[in-house]
Amino acid sequence: MRCRQPNLEGTGEIEVRQEESRDLVIAFNVFGPNPISELLQDAIALLPQIIVAIVIIVVAAAIAKVVKDLVSSVLGGLSCGNALANIASIFILFLGVVAALDRQALHIS
């Protein structure tokens, strides 16, 4: 395995990990194409998309929590205030999950 010094832009660690995964794929390809190397290549290709999907869901959950607190504090005196706060929170979280799935993190072709 080759080690590189991190460059000034802060992407050195990512470059080293990509080289390590590339070396692993090359090691499995020594004896020709096989299912394990294809699986590794597919998994490595999906990692950035999965990370983006997780970030989208976490941001949506944080926004849903803020909206729930805001709506429950504004409409807390009403009999249906907490129910409306829960509905708004669930709706925002649902939109976040749809956005993450639309980002093609889990689309397998």
- Model pLDDT for residues 9-40, shown as the tens digit of each residue: 555 455 555 566 666 666 666 666 777 777 77
Confidence class of residue 1 from pLDDT cuts 50, 70 and 90?
very low
Confidence class of residue 89 from pLDDT cuts 50, 70 and 90?
very high
> 3 in the Ramachandran plot: left (φ > 0), alpha (ψ -120 to 50) or beta?
beta
Looking at per-residue pLDDT, the higher value among 70 and 44 belongs to: 70
Distance separating alpha carbons of residues 8 and 62, to the nearest angstrom: 32
- Model pLDDT for residues 61-83, shown as the tens digit of each residue: 999 999 999 999 998 888 888 99
Describe the crossing of helices 35-75 and 12-28 by its angle, rounded to 10 degrees.
140
